[in-house]
Structure 1
């Protein structure tokens, strides 16, 4: 069990780093900023929290059940009760056990050692400072808190549907009314779920809270707006061609023809990079488990980064620098991903790049991966953003055929998500980070992007308000909540720290329309929109969500798009777009319209293929120039244009063809005239979890 002194030491360390870094300025999400291993803020088994000395403690009125007081009646009250214990040994104590939070409303410290907590039966009790979980420091400072966690194997066990708690100044074989200090009762109408507590409001009354806050001031987040079943967003038709074409060779991903528990390929996130200095365009991909592609169908293993390049109008995995290998006579590819210590295997679901000096995605700045967990410890969540040097010298360290990459940074998001009211339990290891996209500060400040980490103090995002090494925010799609969360990433004192900034919930009207929620995220800088590819978990067809800024700076879902029929029925987990300058006339397109390339990744290897190319309507800003894929327009081969026949469609395996297309139906930003009003105040949206699409 973690001791009180260990918890204090960790908090002092986090506070010292925050003060040294920010010089006393505003630090967004500072209480949970340092999310690196070893210094992630945690909740101790039982924690005494002292209120800041500048805050005047407020005296709250005890419940009406408190018996007659005396002149020297203690100033300690019951402030919050949690009765939704999981009884799982590996869970945090504030989830595993029932607990009662006490608050000192007076002006002098109060030692509650030996005090008792009884339940409705008034017989069995918990003694503070003696019974498990043992509270080491039993003195509550003025305005401070003490959390008494009752070991799940001990007594009393609190009922979530109806029960009472009695706080007494001493204990005995039975409850002594004369020793009662405070009491609270909840009825069936106040029934709590495993994610709720019964908490004291400012007026002294109790009510159910959707956000338990052990050892801190009580919070009552605004409930997520509900909608009627018939309240649903309109889904617009796919603004492009209906035909798509396979880019990868049949069986290039997965273990075609083999048996075992894991035979499918696992291609997930995608990001497109224009070539520079004569180099070809690159389509980067994240594979969340390369083992099947390597022929291992028994165990989950490290994910990978895959690098597709365009050469003479055809896409293929880069044959140089160890990006490809041969298995059973077939060319396959990918470099396996490990954590900073060179160990483990990242479950790489998402991939993104940050812009270079020219404003375009630049892999020399690092390739950023969104990971759910360590596949070698697959039942434990490890929500993270990792960075890798794609140009680093690599080798096949374990002899399985694929070369290996070690992360240069890992920003663990656990503590930051906790500040949004999101806790990932043992059942959420495979319902974590699905998509990652980067939006530069220049755009965010110009749009007046709003930070809503504290729903009572929503304000314009200030890049100087927190440490940030990348001059922008990373937006993360989380499968458990179907919400998107924004983080600033930095390395502080040698430790990687993720600072939470804002949350963007998914409106129920989108779920009602059959949208499974954001999986892969793509920042469309040309049109100032965040594109969120959804999968087909619920059998309603994969759709694309379009998030845009409203006139108040809120980024919200404002539009849904269908995908081509072949894509809609797949387990689509990746999506990538190309620049508008790649738009051109394409065979099968409408007269007078031009289209540009887009790509999808299929985690299910439908028909033996994992990567497909399609087309979306777009307007080329330089129609007189030949679309180019290397940053030297008109002088080099486009990404998939087909040099001899500009209207030819691409063939399977990326052979020949014109170019895919983008998400802007007219070439101008997809910004609706009326922006959907979305409740950004909801922290940790209780969205229904979609059925998982992979064997865990």
Structure 2
């Protein structure tokens, strides 16, 4: 079980055993405190970080290395705040190749880091997430007391992409490793140890002789020959004796398993079902251990400048709504205040979302104040693709004028972005309901449309001189292939017969369904290459409003999303036996989600499916989360899972 200093072969020597305390002696949340940065130069400084949502007292805690017994230390504060830092200078010198072990006042091991010659000079730090990222040696200035991102290298070593992904202490005592990198990693010489100081490190290959490497995006599992306890740890080192990853869990964790949520990057949570050898189900709750990512529902603090907006227009969930069919857990999927722009420094108003069907690793996002973002995944979060634009690209109406109130977007068959606008923000009392086509490969920081189709005259009810009414126009749009419409027997409202795409020779290979926030209707259009359009009429979603629209090839449905105005719901529409597009089923969001103006929704293509699940992403238009002080305050994107 949990004890004191540990033993690894090679460069490391045996530590000194400390007494095992009763579990009650350990402060709540102790397992969330992680060693975050350490230097063996001059001051021998150590930084601790709290990945949890509540403060943790470190009164009476001790530290040891590979040659001295646990010693008291003098921290910069007696409590590590939620998502905060505490530093101290080691009471004994740290060597060129050494280890550092942190204990509670009762002697329970909290965390440990090992390094080989030269690796902690000038500093070793976690990169890719404070308290959770990969251990690397940095040459940049130390960042003690602050986030480590500034000192991280541009790319992590291949071995650093391997994470402990799941662990079980239910008798099988199995450890799962996941390789989140783009190349295979050899682990034949790697070792692991638990928190029992009577145990020497065991080799991964001796525990599972067939486990000598992990393919890119793959898994390796091995049964711990050391045995794992009810409150325990696993520490993983590479062939040189450097720490790769670690996990600590309190009593009650790791049964049936503790797993990262999201898979490969998120915090460790106690699961209801073990998924060893495959993607994590994230089917449990609570928090047995520590890891990367940030789950919804915890405490936190807003640390940089943006102005969240509280939700408005909340209504009850309609009768007949079904529960979310995907995973129960949701993670925050962006950096705090990530979408500040020159026309929207508040950093909010992110609305439409769309996965790129030709490249599912790309997620396009529209911000209301006339900006587009190309997002890519990095350490479990969606961040702007710096090769496209690290700060987004501004869009204009034809001729380079105005500020489109960009709300929804979709990707057409030609790879172009089709964006809806409901007004010009420079004249926000006047509706301007248009769909614009942009070429995302165009250079420059500002994009102008190749085509614009203006449907404003079809909605006179929005033109009242009120900015509120003008703001109830096109809120989302989806490209729907002709092949789906014909295969499902859609009846063309203009002819009363089966839809025949050949009747509309200039429209391309699909129609566009725009969602009207005013009354929750969808409006189908053929967008012609000469700038004209064909109107196919309105479709009822059965909901009072529409916040986003997407076509999901996985379920073969058009999805109309409504935010808190309809109880945070997603209505999946099908073609019925009579050839009409009608609601099929409506789902709520996962219960853990906040009830906010969640105006964007996207489902990843089924090509990304792992173990029957794929990613679902939401946008919080007001970045309000659960309100001031919550972990989600100041964040725009949430990530969960949906069945394939």
Short-chain TM bin:
0.3 to 0.5
As a proportion of its length, which structure holds more strand?
A: 2
* Normalised TM-score (structure 2): 0.47
Identify which of structures 1 and 2 has the higher relative contact order when contacts are C-alpha pairs closer than 8 Å and 6+ apart: 1
As a proportion of its length, which structure holds more helix?
A: 1
